[in-house]
Amino acid sequence: MIYVINAGSSSVKFSVFTESPLTEVVSGQAALRDTEIVLQAQVFGTPYESTYPAPETEQTAVMSLVHAATVLLTEQVDESPRMIVHRVVHGGTGFVKPIIVSPEIREALEHLVDLAPLHQPVNLAAIDACAGLFPDIPQIACFDTAFHADQSDLETHFALPAELFARGIRKYGFHGLSYSYIVSQFPRFAIPNSARVIICHLGNGASLCAVHEGRSVASTMGFTALEGLPMGTRSGRLDPGVVLHLITQDGWSADEVEHLLYRESGLKGLSGVSADVRTLEQSESAAAQFALDYFAYRINAEMGSLTAILGGIDVVIFTAGIGEHSVSVRKAVGQRLSQWLPIAIDDQKNVAQRDEISADTSQIRVLRIPTDENLNMAQLAEHMI
């Protein structure tokens, strides 16, 4: 069996696969939903659900998700794994393919925590927890940054002195395991390799990726997973002068600025209500509606940038939690795109959550493809072993 642990900033998704062929027999998620931790799973066909209050501090709550996921696996699955596969958000410049985690590799990944402070500690906590439970089982790290490793120098450079690029101050890109899976599905949806595609990974963490010839050409996330679109609690693109002003003029510490940008901004900061799109969609608050409008506004703007880089666009794909499930977000984005692109979303197909939601009149295909990072990681690890 292969265990897969996919630890994110607000949820931990987990799977168990039997081999030859890979078949998912356990799937589940431990997720933060405002003030609660919700644990849901399908264990060999039997549903499992538990809900309990989240710890007071968000970092402690996220670590509790790792604990909940690993405890469920040890209690509900009798057979020990042959390998345990982990999503690790940041691989820096040194990790561009899956690797078995040794103590030396674990230490190297620790040095990248500052580049992904919401994710890397949780990823490493999952590795540590599994090492304690299964000390003799190989653990394999798969990296979110790896899919973007071949982007051009024009895409990966900031307009900073060359010595900073040499020290790793550059654009990396994230959500690569999700994008890699979506690209693997192109043949199933008759998307030719030559197509110019923009994939919209919209979840608590959100980004866009321009793909051509099956490769990442450009993406909205940069040096950290803070760049690009506004997200659940992250600010997204921001004038760096704001950070300088808060530090030099208002006396904020670096820790205070980090907390603001990673944990109190985005949809949560704009709405003052919640980071969860489902909660915002149900809210009658004007601020909640503004947050959703701003989200669609920024997606439209970033789509313009990526379309320019691609030199045109043939296919738009929505994926991840919001992209797969939110009818209203897809509709709002489609309406904005239709003002400058020959694109149209069919309302009935959109509401019905069809795979293809573009209208017959649309010259650009619009698809809704559920991502499966866990299957992608299991395939990568099985191939590697």
**Which two three-digit tokens encode residue 104?**
């030396």
144, 276, 346, 372: which is the annotated catalytic residue?
144
Report how far residue 244's alpha carbon sits from residue 180's, in angstroms, rounded to the nearest whole number. 36
Question: Is 140 strand, coil or helix?
Answer: strand
Q: Provide the pairing of β-strand 46-53 with 315-319.
A: unpaired
Q: Are strands 365-368 and 315-319 parallel, antiparallel or unpaired?
A: parallel
Q: Which residue has the tokens 């190989």?
A: 138
β-strands 196-202, 315-319 pairing: parallel
Short-list 64, 4, 9, CA closest to 28: 4
In whole angstroms, what is the distance from residue 319 CA to residue 186 CA? 13
Our answer to whether residue 372 is catalytic in this structure is no
Count of Cβ atoms closer than 10 Å to residue 295 Cβ: 26
Structure tokens at 122: 């949780």
Phi, psi of 383 (to 5 degrees): -65, -40
- For residue 11, the SS3 value is strand
Quote the tokens at residue 362: 């649309």
To which H or E segment does residue 381 belong?
Answer: helix 373-384
What the block records as the tokens of 47 is: 């549903």
Write phi, then psi, for 302 (nearest 5 degrees): -70, -30
Q: Which helix (H) or strand (E) holds 47?
A: strand 46-53
Q: CA nearest 374: which of 215, 31, 142?
A: 142
Q: What is the DSSP letter of 267?
A: H
Closest by CA to 139, choosing from 335, 273, 4, is 4
Any idea which residues carry the catalytic annotation? 144
